[in-house]
Structure 1
Amino acid sequence: MGCDGGTIPRRDELVRLKKKPETKDKDAERLYRWRHCALTQQKLQQPIVMCGLGRLYSKQSVIEQLLEKEKMPEACAHIKNLKDVKDLRLTANPAYSAEDEKNAPFICALIGLEMSGQFRFVALWTCGCVFSERALKQLNTNVCSVCQTPYTEQDIVILNGTEEDIDLMRTRMEARVARLKAEKKEKKKSKAVTETVVKEEPGTSSTEIKKSKIKLPTVVKPQIPANKRELLLDPLASDPNAKKVKKDYSVATDEKATEVYKSIFTTHESEKKQERGHWITTNPYYY
């Protein structure tokens, strides 16, 4: 049955052993998470956004998914609109090129560490600035060192964190949403208070309060002299030549007109004795 030539079989040749599970390349997995969109698994494209749990996405992919009204994957189910993601302000790595696989495309804005996953990175939900966790701890302030925007501990989001970090980010996200809703309600209440009328005092009615508050300006009627009042009623009264325009005007009764001027018209006494029409008028007897 074989083995007759003095060969000694090994145990793995005689006994079937269980195959060891294939181990993932941790470095490759880490680089994949930092360079690919968590929604479409494609390479990240600017602008890059993050969700409240610290995952990275291409903004265009998120918008397309929301417009198509398709169900988000379970890992992204908390994204319901664009308010659930935040635009990131990333610092480009000058040593990175499109075909480079060693260097990371982005670095820390404060101390220059590469954003490749070897170091923990965080982002601020208030402004979207990205730093390494080491730099943020060294500063120990509540104001962003890049844009001077204040923030709280709830606004710090760990990017691509572990499962424990994701649980912590979920609690911070829920607390942040509750805080924003409370602030919105307070703004509405303050706005409503400014628009409402002051409470009524005892013994006074609402109409009296409104009358006391709304003071209309008193209109003073100007006193117009009699001569100017006539000018306002009849603007032509001050013009002596304008009297001739009126219907009751007659040349025969005009004191300033001369007799020669009056004789031109048929209303003159000399014209009453003539039997034929005047030479100036359009009387058909003249023609």
Structure 2
Amino acid sequence: MGCDGGTIPKRHELVKGPKKVEKVDKIAELAAKWKHCALSQEKLKRPIVACELGRLYNKDAIIEYLLDKSAERPNTEVVAHIRSIKDVKELHLTDNPAWEGERRNIKGDCYEDVHCAMFICPVVGLEMNGKHKFLYLQTCGCVFSERALREVKTEICHKCGDPFQEDDLVMLNGSKEEVEKLQKAMEERRLKAKTAKKSKKSKDAKASKSSDSTGSCDASETKSSSLSGEGSSDSAPGPSASGECSKTIKAPAGPVAGSKRSIQDMKDKSEAYKSLFTSHSSAKRTKDQISNWVTHTPYHF
């Protein structure tokens, strides 16, 4: 079998060496990053969102992932840090007038420029095809090239005019080192938000407890004032209701709660005023002055 007819085999045909390591085409890799969704691997179409690590997604794919995280997907590790729709930002992109869309090169009989991108930088006009670095603002979602932000230094957005800080800039499809830096910043930001939320909850709990304690103090003060005011309308005035509530409620000064104070014992009242009541000595009669009451019934007649 073989080697007949005077054929001379060569060494590479008889001896199989180690397989060559397949190298990733950089042009294809850039096209996949900037033209396809990082989760569904479908072509990017509006609305397009970006995460805090600078990856590009179709918004529909992110919503489907958040609705059903248990479904099997090939690239779930790229969206493991996305907890809700608030973790992504919808991008405001500028269309490229030189991009013809899907209608170009339908027959395949003309040259297709793979570097022609759908979007461009609105300031300097660079195409967003991977050759140049692009960033987006977390405040408004506008996208610019790094060259535009470096040459035209400003603290407001070039497109919408919203103010921003340097921490709001996120690199799109950055290198491995840039992604690690963005991940550290994301973790620090989430930790700060978590601690701020806990401190706010503790403050709200303390405020509710203080309001409950002031309410109970007001109720106890009104109860003590009502108890001290029992008896006659001319009784001595009690403590004012505007006083601060102490931890231990002291017993009200004066008569014990529930007991009636006699008008005859009041030193600040005159004898004429005291004589108006039946408890006065002038109103009391001896046994001789008290008449015998006889009850007449119909049975006596």
CA distance in 2, matches of 1:134, 1:32: 23
1:109 corresponds to which residue? 122
Are positions 1:79 and 2:87 aligned together?
A: no
Counterpart of 2:82, as a letter, is: I
1:49 corresponds to which residue? 49
1:216 corresponds to which residue? none
Are positions 1:26 and 2:29 aligned together?
A: no
CA distance in 2, matches of 1:185, 1:151: 27
Q: Which runs of 5+ in 2 are unaligned?
A: 105-111, 215-238, 245-301
1:166 corresponds to which residue? 179
TM-score scaled to structure 1, two decimals? 0.60
Q: Which runs of 5+ in 1 are unaligned?
A: 211-287
1:248 corresponds to which residue? none
- Describe how 1:87-126 pairs up with structure 2 within 5 A: 87-99=90-102, 100=104, 102=113, 103-126=116-139
Helix, strand or coil: the match of 2:117?
A: coil
Counterpart of 1:29, as a letter, is: E
CA distance in 2, matches of 1:111, 1:170: 29
Distance 1:2 1:78, change over 3 A: closer
Q: Deviations over 1:220-275 (max 9, x none)?
A: xxxxxxxxxxxxxxxxxxxxxxxxxxxxxxxxxxxxxxxxxxxxxxxxxxxxxxxx
Asked if structure 2 preserves the Cα contact closer than 8 Å seen for 1:154 and 1:175, the reply is: no
Offset of residue 162 of structure 1: 1.5
Counterpart of 1:163, as a letter, is: K
Cα RMSD, aligned residues only: 3.6
Helix, strand or coil: the match of 2:124?
A: coil
Helix, strand or coil: the match of 1:157?
A: strand
Number of matched pairs: 205
Offset of residue 57 of structure 1: 0.6
Identify which of 155, 165, 184 aligns with 1:152.
165
Are positions 1:208 and 2:221 aligned together?
A: no
Asked if structure 1 preserves the Cα contact closer than 8 Å seen for 2:3 and 2:9, the reply is: no
1:130 corresponds to which residue? 143
